Amino acid sequence: MRSSRTQVDPDLSQRLFYALRRIAQGVEVDSRRLAKMHGVTGPQLVCLRAVVAYGPTTATDISEKVYLSPSTVVGIFDRLESKGLMKRRRDRQDRRVVFVTATDAGREAVAQAPHPLYQAVGALLKGRTKAEQKAFMEAIDELAQLIAEPSDEE
In the chain, count H helices and then E strands: 7, 2
CATH number at residue 78: 1.10.10.10
Quick count: other Cβ atoms within 10 Å of Cβ 61?
Answer: 18
Identify whether residues 60 and 124 lie together within a single domain: no
CA distance 67 to 141: 12
Average model confidence (pLDDT) for the chain? Answer: 88
pLDDT tens per residue across span 100-145:
999 999 999 999 887 667 788 888 899 999 999 999 999 988 888 8
Q: Can you give the residue range of the structural domain that contains 106?
A: 21-114
Instruction: Read off the pTM.
Output: 0.75
Residue 37: pLDDT over 60: yes
Residue 120's pLDDT is 84
Residue 104's pLDDT is 97
Identify whether residues 56 and 132 lie together within a single domain: no
Looking at the structure of the chain, the number of domains it has is 2
Residue 55: pLDDT over 90: no
